């Protein structure tokens, strides 16, 4: 099932399929390791619901919901 | 001398390595850039001295922030003899991404695998030789913190620097390599240095590259049509980023041996094992407690830096008649007074302040007059201009500013600890949502709250903001967060109001003035971000580093840097401005030394500009002494506490000619410092309480002290400082007159004319909004 990162629930894991958008934001996402094939785990949301904190490539990354909107993932089903 | 550049991700221990390498031999030179600075030092343990350059931390060589441009340009244009690429061994995957780009440049590269000690402690191991083989450049495992293996790193770096290296790429897609090869040949034809690097960046549609070589873009575009990757189509940017990560994960996945347990857990998909750092994080960024904990931490930081009543035990002191510490000596009240214990920040401040006072003061407990002052009076005679020049001009100005340094450093120490431990990044994370409403990012919060202590470190701290416009807007509103030096103005005038008009509550007045500053900052930030400083909120894609203990050595070096920066300023621009103001306030137009304000050039300037303060309530409506407010505001430019010391100086003159006020003052009894002078000035000039409040607001919002101005000038982008000065003047005038008008409505005698004034203000506001909308239409925002 494909889902955008800003629609993820805390605790969900997904595999990046595509990174949309353009320009600086997309470039930055790539440089920070948000590329297709990487696994993303949504760790938590900030106290006010935005931005998000994810675990990717072994480190913690924070990004806003409107930036996460560009990241399309396949939700991993085998998690509990 | 050979130059080795340190390059690596932020937080990979680059600066620690720099400090360890250059150590006590470091003579750190700063090049203040737009947003950042690179540092250099010397490594002396090899047979020849090596210059080490610490570049800003970067994730990639594509220009995203001004920092990355600095690092990229240094490596490409300044031809360092070797690039030492520091790689965090605990996070190989993302760190090696930069390495793959560095390898494309024609420069000797050596990889320093840092934090090996942490890795080993975790029970993991790394196959260094395998990594070296795959990358094709020397790899040395080190621990920058424990200073392990640094000699080997440096001698191998020296070895590498002796033979030139030609850039290589790890991109393996044949079609893409073909295109890159073609572009590279075109670049070679144009005699461009580092053709491979530039070719790849152009294919990636890198912003800087496409601007520099528009002629070659058609070639890339033509090729694009024939290219079709099965996952990414012809999106070269994605293909290249992907192939870098593919290369890393396929080659280095096996280089790191994790401890057995974790592999087992991995199979069960329990990847997110809780570390200590995770548990701390759970509390500090908790949904409910996160914000509360943050507020408590901030309270203690300020309490320990600025409070003169530590832990609120002052009441007990008063009741039990505790005597001040070191009573009767020059350090009377250093550690505690009769009304409470001082915080560490205040004790440091007192120590310097009292020591300076023992040199130049004229009413020092224990010794009467300061040593330098009394010595000079003996030598030159009382009232000689040179005595005043040295004591009240040069030294008083310098000491006033240097006296703040220790307190600023204490505040800085706390913030450095917060930054070093990794908490600061979480603060930005927690607060981003709120700040975005005002057109700023969560990172702007720290410089703002630091402004409550002192604008100088606060403005320097804005360097962490990536976006220039956001940075400019933040620097401009920082002085609105009322600093420690403005508090005496609040206390004295609020006290004066209470005594003269028998109305109001000092605490309420003080807190509401702080609130006025914050509201003004929010409004101004909003207005700027919608007009001249317009732009989309900068992306907030940021690493959250792991928590760790702060490092003492690093903290000290950091503080020392700040001290040098500040002292340098104190001795140049600030000193010069202080002397000018001293001259104006002590000399008449006939160049006669007066020794006081009366008849001085400053007085006539004060009288001349007095009318412009009429809409603010402290201009022409006052009697012939009304110029004192204008003069106090001017002297406040040196340092804000001068506002009240000017009052004190002027009050002495006023009181001597007005016996009625003397009697009233005597009836007043003992009051807090400055309140008596404020009382005398209020009573003598006939100012209304509305005017007083407007005067406080004006001082809070107008041009800050010279120290802050000098910092703003250094930190702002070129050409923005003049506009910033104008902005401060306009903001303080508008805000103070609105406050004056609004408060005047409560006064029956003036509310009648207040109504048309408000109608006028509303009309002006409507015109302003119209102009803003028009401006916005004619200046469409640049999309990133």
Domain ranges of chain A: 2-75
Cα B430 from Cα B473, distance rounded (Å): 21
B229 interface with A at CB cutoff 8 Å: no
Q: What is the CA radius of gyration of chain A?
A: 11
Name the fold adopted by B174-267.
Helix Hairpins (1.10.287)
B658 interface with A at CB cutoff 8 Å: no
The pairing of beta strand A39-45 with beta strand A52-56: antiparallel
Pairs from B561-568 (Cβ < 8 Å, separation ≥ 24): B561/B28, B561/B30, B562/B408, B562/B409, B562/B412, B562/B457, B562/B460, B563/B405, B563/B409, B565/B30, B565/B460, B566/B405, B566/B408, B566/B456, B566/B707, B567/B402, B567/B405
Selected for mutation to probe chain B from A10, A23, A25, A31 (highest B CB count within 10 Å) is A31
Structure tokens at A13: 């894991």
**Sites in chain B below the pLDDT cut of 50:** 24-36, 260-271, 782-784
- What pLDDT does residue B264 have? 41
Instruction: Name every chain B residue with its beta carbon within 8 A of the beta carbon of A33.
Output: 93-94, 97, 245
- What pLDDT does residue B35 have? 35
- What pLDDT does residue B350 have? 85
Domain ranges of chain B: 2-161, 174-267
B166 interface with A at CB cutoff 8 Å: no
Instruction: Name every chain A residue with its beta carbon within 8 A of the beta carbon of B442.
Output: 51
Closest CA to B474 of B494, B489, B485, B459: B459
Cα B397 from Cα B321, distance rounded (Å): 36
Contact indicator for B62, B206 with CB cutoff of 8 Å: yes
B542 interface with A at CB cutoff 8 Å: yes
A15 interface with B at CB cutoff 8 Å: no
Selected for mutation to probe chain B from A26, A41, A42, A62 (highest B CB count within 10 Å) is A62
> Which of A35, A60, A62 lies closest to B245 in CB terms?
A35
CB atoms within 10 A of CB B27: 8
Cα B228 from Cα B179, distance rounded (Å): 13
Per-residue pLDDT tens for B56-98?
888 888 876 666 778 888 899 889 999 999 998 888 888 999 9
Cα A4 from Cα A18, distance rounded (Å): 10
Instruction: Name every chain A residue with its beta carbon within 8 A of the beta carbon of B783.
Output: 23
Q: How far is B270 from chain A (nearest CA, A)?
A: 9
- What pLDDT does residue B28 have? 40
Upstream peptide bond of A56 is cis (omega within 30 degrees of 0): no
A30 interface with B at CB cutoff 8 Å: yes
Which architecture does CATH list for B2-161?
3-Layer(aba) Sandwich (3.40)
Structure tokens at B365: 């407990």
Structure tokens at B108: 């000797």
Q: How far is A6 from chain B (nearest CA, A)?
A: 14
CB contact under 8 A, B541 and A32: yes
- What pLDDT does residue B4 have? 94
- Residue B200 Cα distances to B104, B109, B696, angstroms: 9, 18, 59
Closest CA to B84 of B8, B197, B168: B8
* B46: three-class secondary structure by DSSP: coil
Contact indicator for B324, B332 with CB cutoff of 8 Å: yes
CB contact under 8 A, A31 and B64: yes
In B92-160 the beta strands, taken as DSSP E runs, fall at 109-114, 125-126, 139-141
**CA geometry: angle at B637 spanning B461 and B604, to 5°?**
165
Q: Name the superfamily (CATH) of residues A2-75.
A: Ferrous iron transport protein A (FeoA) (2.30.30.90)
A24 interface with B at CB cutoff 8 Å: yes
Task: Give kind and range of the element (H or E) at residue B572.
Answer: none
- What pLDDT does residue B65 have? 67
- Contacts A–B by Cβ distance under 8 A: 119
- What pLDDT does residue A79 have? 52
Contact indicator for B114, B87 with CB cutoff of 8 Å: yes
- What pLDDT does residue B670 have? 62
CB contact under 8 A, B59 and A31: yes
- What pLDDT does residue B268 have? 42
Structure tokens at B443: 């990172």
Question: Quick one: three-class SS letters along A24-46?
Answer: HHHHHHHHCCCCCCCEEEEEEEC
Cα B44 from Cα B63, distance rounded (Å): 33
CB contact under 8 A, B238 and A41: no
Upstream peptide bond of A51 is cis (omega within 30 degrees of 0): yes
Interface of A with B in 41-80 (CB under 8 A): 41, 43-44, 46-51, 53, 55, 57-64, 67, 78-79
Selected for mutation to probe chain A from B171, B253, B278, B433 (highest A CB count within 10 Å) is B433
Cα B120 from Cα B271, distance rounded (Å): 20
């Amino acid at each position: 099932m494909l889902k955008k990162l800003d629609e993820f629930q805390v605790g969900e894991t997904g595999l990046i399929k595509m990174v949309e958008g353009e320009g600086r934001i997309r470039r930055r996402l790539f440089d920070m390791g948000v590329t297709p094939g990487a696994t993303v785990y949504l760790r938590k949301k900030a106290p006010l619901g935005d931005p998000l904190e994810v675990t990717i490539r072994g480190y913690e990354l924070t990004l806003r919901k409107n930036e996460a909107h560009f990241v399309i993932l396949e939700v991993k089903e085998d998690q509990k | 001398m050979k130059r080795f550049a340190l390059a690596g991700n932020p937080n990979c221990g680059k600066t620690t390595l720099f400090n360890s390498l250059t150590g006590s031999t470091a003579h750190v030179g700063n090049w203040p850039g737009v947003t950042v600075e690179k540092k250099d030092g010397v490594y002396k343990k090899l047979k020849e001295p090596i210059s080490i350059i610490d570049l800003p931390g970067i994730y990639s060589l594509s220009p995203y922030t001004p920092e990355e441009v600095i690092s990229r340009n240094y490596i490409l244009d300044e031809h360092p003899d070797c690039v030492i690429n520091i790689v965090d061994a605990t996070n190989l995957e993302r760190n090696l991404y930069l390495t793959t780009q560095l390898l494309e440049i024609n420069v000797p590269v050596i990889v320093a695998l840092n934090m090996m000690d942490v890795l080993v402690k975790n029970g993991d191991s790394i196959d260094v030789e395998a990594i070296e083989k795959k990358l094709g450049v020397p790899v040395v495992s080190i621990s920058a913190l424990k200073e392990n293996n640094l000699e080997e790193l440096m001698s191998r770096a020296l070895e590498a620097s002796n033979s030139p290296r030609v850039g290589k790429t790890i991109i393996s897609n044949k079609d893409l390599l073909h295109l890159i090869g073609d572009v590279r040949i075109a670049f070679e034809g144009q005699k461009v240095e580092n053709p491979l690097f530039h070719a790849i960046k152009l294919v990636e549609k890198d912003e800087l590259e496409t601007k520099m070589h528009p002629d070659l873009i058609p070639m890339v575009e033509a090729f694009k049509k024939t290219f079709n990757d099965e996952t990414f189509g012809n999106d070269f940017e994605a293909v290249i980023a992907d192939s870098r990560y593919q290369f890393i994960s396929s080659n280095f996945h096996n280089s790191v041996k994790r401890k057995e347990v974790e592999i087992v857990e991995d199979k069960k998909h329990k990847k997110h094992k809780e570390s200590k750092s995770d548990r701390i994080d759970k509390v500090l960024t908790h949904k409910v407690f996160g914000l509360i904990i943050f507020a408590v931490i901030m309270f203690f930081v300020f309490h320990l830096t600025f409070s003169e009543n530590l832990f609120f035990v002052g009441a007990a002191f008063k009741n039990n008649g505790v005597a001040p510490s070191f009573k009767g000596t020059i350090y009377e009240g250093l550690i505690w007074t009769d009304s409470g214990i001082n915080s560490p920040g205040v004790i440091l401040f007192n120590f310097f302040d009292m020591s300076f006072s023992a040199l130049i003061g004229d009413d020092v407990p224990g010794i009467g007059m300061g040593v330098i002052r009394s010595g000079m009076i003996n030598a030159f005679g009382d009232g000689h201009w040179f005595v005043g020049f040295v004591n009240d001009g040069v030294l008083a100005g310098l000491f006033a500013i240097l006296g703040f340094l220790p307190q600023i450093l204490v505040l800085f120490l706390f913030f450095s600890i917060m930054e070093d431990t990794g908490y600061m990044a979480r603060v930005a994370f927690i607060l981003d949502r709120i700040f975005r409403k005002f057109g700023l990012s969560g990172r702007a919060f720290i410089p703002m709250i630091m402004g409550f202590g002192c604008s100088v470190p606060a403005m320097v701290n804005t360097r962490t903001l990536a976006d220039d416009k956001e940075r400019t807007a933040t620097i401009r509103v920082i002085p609105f967060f009322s600093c420690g030096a403005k508090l005496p103005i609040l206390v004295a005038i609020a006290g004066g109001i209470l005594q003269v008009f028998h109305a109001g509550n000092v605490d309420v007045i003080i807190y509401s003035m702080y609130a006025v500053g914050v509201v003004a900052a929010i409004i101004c930030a909003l207005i700027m971000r919608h007009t001249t400083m317009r732009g989309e909120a900068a992306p907030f894609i940021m690493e959250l580093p792991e928590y760790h203990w702060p490092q003492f050595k690093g903290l000290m070096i950091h503080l020392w840097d700040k001290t040098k920066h500040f002292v340098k300023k104190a001795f140049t621009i600030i000193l010069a401005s202080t002397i000018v103001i001293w001259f104006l306030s002590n000399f008449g137009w006939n160049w006669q030394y007066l020794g006081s304000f009366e008849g001085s050039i400053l007085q006539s300037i004060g009288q001349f500009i007095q009318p412009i303060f009429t809409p603010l309530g402290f201009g022409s409506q006052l009697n012939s002494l009304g110029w004192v407010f204008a003069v106090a505001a001017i002297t406040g430019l040196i340092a804000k506490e001068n506002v009240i010391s000017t009052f004190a100086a002027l009050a002495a003159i006023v009181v001597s000619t007005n016996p009625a006020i003397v009697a009233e003052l005597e009836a007043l009894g003992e009051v807090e410092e400055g309140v008596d002078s404020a009382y005398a000035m209020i009573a003598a000039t006939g100012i209304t309480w509305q005017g007083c409040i407007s005067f406080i607001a004006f001082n809070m919002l107008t041009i800050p002290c010279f120290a802050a101005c000098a910092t703003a000038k250094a930190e702002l982008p070129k050409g923005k400082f003049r506009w910033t000065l104008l902005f401060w003047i306009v903001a303080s005038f508008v805000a103070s007159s609105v406050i004056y008008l609004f408060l005047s409505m409560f006064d029956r005698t003036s509310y009648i004319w207040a109504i048309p004034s408000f109608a006028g203000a509303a009309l002006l506001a409507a015109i302003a909004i119209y102009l803003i909308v028009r401006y916005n239409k004619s200046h469409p925002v640049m999309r990133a």
